[in-house]
């Protein structure tokens, strides 16, 4: 039954005590077998209740009105909810009762329906925060996601809401929320970075949070080369303040010798620089595993852009050219001259006789044919 018919009934019987059965039929408060006329359309229900004070006038009590709404099927509930935002404010007592009954009945699949109005959707989520663990947060605005974090009942729900926040440009409120949940936000940011959904404007934020994330968020970073590479990129590849190379290596585990992916080259480049920071003498086992793989990738031009840029910026210079092999040999030669036993590393590198002579030869560089000019030699 349309709203116009319902309004005609109300106009014809203005006194609250007139035609009670007929009026109860309009809101579905009579059993179907006893109803004189069909109830009003669900899509008209909020409009009708906004004009007609059935509880205040004593036509039905609050429980009866709630029960009537509870008997609607899912499609009727959705149709009813779609018009909630169209009624004039402030809400009447009847509208409030109906909205609460509606919220109690809606399930998550109905909440996620594309046409469900935002006010009802938010009421449902605030009433039942457990839904936030699996709710499609793309239906939320960023301010709504920030607001809902305050009532989220689990870390999983907070993480889900952070996904929405991080997919949109940062605001002052969003940045504050991310800072308050730095580890969870970082974990979610890595996922979004991998899928290409992370808003690029968040990049600088995580660089500023590096001290809060490391070392506490290390477990987030060591669950596969791809996640590690994306996470390190978000943090700006921190060298100073980062855990030791040994801790990183233990967390990452042994990579396959033939893992020559871009992600692995990025991780290996970072590990190499941490080894140099911690000292070759203390990191020989790590270098023995890592250096052969990254050297192979460098020689065959297989490094990721991030790995190449990182190594170019931090390895010893040999002038304007970029030659990873020469730079590594310089490092090994200096370590040997400092009485560090680099033979375990060198044995894995398949060096030529010329290169071996350069690493282990005496200090007279001019007595070797290896083509590195003294002009480029810092040590």
DSSP string, 138-186: GGS-HHHHHHHHTT--SHHHHHHHHHHHHTS---HHHHHHHHHTHHHHH
The average pLDDT across 30-41 equals 70
Considering the domain architecture, whether residues 103 and 221 belong to the same structural domain is answered as no
- Give the separation between CA 90 and CA 100, rounded to whole angstroms: 16
Q: What are phi and psi of 320, to 5 degrees?
A: -80, -20
Has residue 188 been placed in a domain?
yes
Greater confidence (196 vs 153) lies with: 196
With vertex at residue 219, the alpha carbon angle to CA 145 and CA 164, rounded to the nearest 5 degrees, is: 15
CA distance 193 to 61: 54
Q: Which residue, 246, 349, 214, is CA-closest to 294?
A: 349
Task: Answer whether residue 149 is part of any domain.
Answer: yes
Residue 207 lies in a domain: no
324-356: b or e for each residue (b if 16 or more CB lie within 10 Å)?
bebbbbbbbbbbbeeebebeebbebbebeeebe
Q: Say if residue 98 is in the same domain as residue 148.
A: no
Q: Judge if 262 and 153 occupy the same domain.
A: no
* Three-class secondary structure of residue 318 per DSSP: strand
Q: Which domain holds residue 341?
A: 214-379
Q: In this structure, are 102 and 142 located in the same domain? A: no
For residues 233 and 372, membership in a common domain is answered with: yes
Would 208 be classed as within a structural domain? no
Of 353, 352, 379, 354, residue with least CA distance to 369: 354
Q: Which of 143-152, 268-277, 354-363 has the lowest mean pLDDT?
A: 354-363
- 340 token code pair: 């560090």
53, part of any domain = yes
- Asked if 88 and 183 sit in the same domain, the reply is no
For residue 84, name the pLDDT band (cuts at 50, 70, 90).
confident
Residue 206 lies in a domain: no
Mean pLDDT highest for which of 27-41, 46-60, 87-101, 132-146? 132-146
pLDDT band per the 50, 70, 90 thresholds, residue 141 = very high
Mean per-residue pLDDT, 116-131: 87
Both 190 and 227 in one domain: the answer is no
Which residue's structure tokens are 């709630």?
66
Nearest to 80 by CA among 119, 116, 29, 54: 116
Overall residue count recorded for the chain in this entry: 379
- Indicate if 61 and 98 belong to the same structural domain: yes
Average pLDDT, the chain: 85
pLDDT at 56: 87
Q: Do 13 and 25 form a contact (C-beta atoms < 8 A)?
A: no
Average pLDDT over residues 62-91: 84
For residue 146 the two structure tokens come to 């920030």
Verify cis geometry, omega within 30 degrees of 0, for the bond prior to 215: yes
My answer on whether 140 and 117 are in the same domain is no
The b/e string for 17-45 (b: 16+ C-beta within 10 A; e otherwise) is eebeebbbbbbbbbeeeebeeebbbbbbb
Q: CB count, 10 Å around CB of 320?
A: 6
Count of domains forming the chain: 3
**Contact call for residues 103 and 70 (beta carbons, < 8 A):** no
Nearest-angstrom CA–CA distance, 312 and 322:
7
Same-domain status, 122 and 194: no
Q: How far is CA 188 from CA 11, 185, 248, in A?
A: 57, 5, 21
Asked if 94 contacts 52 with a C-beta cutoff of 8 angstroms, the reply is yes
Query: What gap in Å lies between CA 352 and CA 275, rounded to an integer?
Result: 24
Cα separation, 103 vs 81, in Å, equals: 9
The percentage of residues in the chain with a pLDDT greater than 70, rounded to a whole number, is 90
Q: Do the domain assignments include residue 205?
A: no
**Among 233, 239, 229, 225, which Cα is nearest to 207's?**
233
Identify whether residues 227 and 179 lie together within a single domain.
no
Q: The tokens 């990129």 sit on which residue?
A: 233
* 142 in the same domain as 111: no
The answer to whether 271 and 229 have CB atoms below 8 angstroms apart is no
Q: Are 72 and 58 in contact (CB under 8 A)?
A: no
Q: Is residue 58 part of a domain?
A: yes
Give the DSSP letter of residue 365: G
Quote the CA–CA distance of 297 and 313 in Å, as a whole number: 18
Whether the predicted pLDDT of 279 surpasses 90: yes
Most confident of 61-70, 174-183, 224-233, 242-251: 174-183
Helix axes 62-70, 93-105, angle to 10 degrees: 40
């Amino acid at each position: 039954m349309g709203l116009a018919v319902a309004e005609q009934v109300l106009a014809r019987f203005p006194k609250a005590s007139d035609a009670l059965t007929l009026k109860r039929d309009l809101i579905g408060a009579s059993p179907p077998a006893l109803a004189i006329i069909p109830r009003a359309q669900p899509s008209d229900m909020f409009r009708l209740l906004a004009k007609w004070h059935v509880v205040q006038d004593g036509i039905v009590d609050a429980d009866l009105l709630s029960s009537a709404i509870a008997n609607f099927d899912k499609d009727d509930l959705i149709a009813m909810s779609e018009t909630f935002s169209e009624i004039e404010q402030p809400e009447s007592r009847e509208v409030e009762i109906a909205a609460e009954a509606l919220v109690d009945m809606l399930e998550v699949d109905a909440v996620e329906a594309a046409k469900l109005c935002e006010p009802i959707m938010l009421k449902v989520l605030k009433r039942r925060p457990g839904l936030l663990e699996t709710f499609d947060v793309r239906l939320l605005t960023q301010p709504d996601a920030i607001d809902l974090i305050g009532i989220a009942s689990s870390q999983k729900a907070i993480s889900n809401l952070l996904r929405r926040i991080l997919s949109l440009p940062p605001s002052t409120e969003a940045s504050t929320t991310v800072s308050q949940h730095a580890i969870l936000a970082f974990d979610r940011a890595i996922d979004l970075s991998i899928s290409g959904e992370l808003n690029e404007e968040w990049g600088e934020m995580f660089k500023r949070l590096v001290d809060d994330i490391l070392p506490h968020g290390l477990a987030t970073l060591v669950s596969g080369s791809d996640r590690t590479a994306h996470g390190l990129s978000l943090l700006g590849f921190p060298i100073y303040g980062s855990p030791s190379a040994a801790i990183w290596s233990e967390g990452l585990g042994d990579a396959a010798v033939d893992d020559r992916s871009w992600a692995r080259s990025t991780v290996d480049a970072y590990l190499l620089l941490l080894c140099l920071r911690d000292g070759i003498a203390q990191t020989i086992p790590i270098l023995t595993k890592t250096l052969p793989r990254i050297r192979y990738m460098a020689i065959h031009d297989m490094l990721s852009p991030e790995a190449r840029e990182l190594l170019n910026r931090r390895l010893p210079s040999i002038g304007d050219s970029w030659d990873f092999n020469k730079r590594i040999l310089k490092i090994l030669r200096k370590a040997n001259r400092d009485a560090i036993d680099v033979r375990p590393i060198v044995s894995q590198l398949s060096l030529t006789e010329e290169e071996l002579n350069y690493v282990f030869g005496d200090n007279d560089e001019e007595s070797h044919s290896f083509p590195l000019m003294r002009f480029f030699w810092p040590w």
